[in-house]
Amino acid sequence: IAQGQSIIITYRTRHAAVDKLEQQGAVCIYADFSTDEGISTFINTLKEHTTSLRAIVHNASSWDCEANNPDFAALFDNMMRVHAKTPYLINLMCAELLLNYQQNEKVPADIIHLTDYVVETGSP
């Protein structure tokens, strides 16, 4: 925003930082990636806000300790939906937005996938 770039972010829980980003001109979209409907709703909402994207940065995360959730199959499904299925679907369904940027600006668009600290620290 400070360098004149348009920014679109997602949030699951609205914090004061989201309000601050909106005040600075960012588009802030609520997203619930724990359901297929939530993923689809986000993609549709995103496409209402832009016709091109410079980059997609995946940073969503969901980790739940097995001791807190005895339904291991549901726990696994949720983690795979948030960590793998959501980025996969966003990449596929928003490829046209990346290609539009690339064609208009004559530079490549990017997909960046971040992980969280649990990958290094492990989960109990």
Tens digits of per-residue pLDDT, 28-39? 999 999 999 999
Q: Is residue 124 domain-resident? A: no
Q: Is residue 109 domain-resident? A: yes
Non-local CB neighbours of 123 within 8 Å, separated by 6+ positions: 63, 65, 66
Containing structural domain, residue 107: 8-116
Which pLDDT score, from 0 to 100, does residue 5 have?
81
**C-alpha distances in Å from residue 39, one per residue of 25, 35, 79, 88, 103:** 24, 6, 14, 11, 26
Q: Is residue 91 domain-resident? A: yes
Q: Is residue 71 domain-resident? A: yes
Q: Is residue 121 domain-resident? A: no
Domain count, the chain: 1
Residue 7: helix, strand or coil by DSSP?
Answer: coil
C-alpha–C-alpha distance, residues 109 and 96, integer Å: 11
How many residues are there in the chain?
124
CA 103 to chain centre: 23
Angle in degrees, CA 39, 19, 95, rounded to 5: 30
Percent of the chain with pLDDT over 90: 65
Tens digits of per-residue pLDDT, 56-83? 998 888 777 777 777 889 888 988 898 8
Closest CA to 46 of 60, 26, 29: 29
CATH number at residue 96: 3.40.50.720
Can you read off the two tokens belonging to residue 18? 């989201």
**C-alpha distances in Å from residue 46, one per residue of 13, 31, 85:** 18, 10, 17
Predicted TM-score (pTM) of this structure = 0.85
Tens digits of per-residue pLDDT, 79-115? 889 889 999 999 999 999 999 999 999 999 999 988 7
Q: Is residue 75 domain-resident? A: yes
